[in-house]
Amino acid sequence: MSDLTSAAAPSLRDDDHVRGPKDGPLVVVYADLACPHCAVAHERLRAAGVRACLRHFALRTRHPRALPLALASEAAAAQDAFWPFVDAVYADQGRIDDPHLWAKAGELGLDVDRFDAARRSDTAAQRVARDVQDGLRAGVAQTPTLIVEGVLHGGVPTAEWLARLH
């Protein structure tokens, strides 16, 4: 994991997707749900007990399924299932096409018709676009990029790096 540059420390928004202990170190993660490196970072951050804020950095040029997955996660969020959906996608990177997303939504108990409509909505598209634009403004150029106290760190966090957060 390498330090990339300094940026203004991002402040949390009311609609950010955040989980973890309120007193844990805050890590803002710009990620792509189709990125295998992001899947590893996701699990390491989760196991480390940090307070993680996931923001989308979904670029079709990097992963063709990045944008559809980001939109699907926002559709799951509309039914209060953002984190369970993200966990399910990262746990099964081999099944990220639309039929698998509907199956995941169903397995999570979501209304699949509502899920499908929400992922095609302007609300989801605007949310994902805002995250990407914010990431670009902050200097994000790769996934995953983690921001801690205004410093951008590129790549998968190591155990040593995570230990320094606490």
CATH of the domain at 13: 3.40.30.10
How would you write the chain as a 3-class SS string? Answer: CEEEEECCCCCCCCCCEEECCCCCCEEEEEECCCCHHHHHHHHHHHHHCCEEEEEECCCCCCCCCHHHHHHHHHHHHCCCCHHHHHHHHHHCCCCCCHHHHHHHHHHCCCCHHHHHHHHCCHHHHHHHHHHHHHHHHHCCCCCCEEEECCEEEECCCCHHHHHHHC
Task: Report the number of distinct structural domains present in the chain.
Answer: 1
pLDDT of 165 reads 87
Q: Is the pTM of this model over 0.75?
A: yes
Range of the domain at 11: 2-165
pLDDT at residue number 35: 96
Give average pLDDT by consecutive 10-residue segment, the chain, 166 residues: 56 92 93 97 94 96 94 98 98 93 96 97 98 95 94 94 89
What's the pLDDT at 28?
97
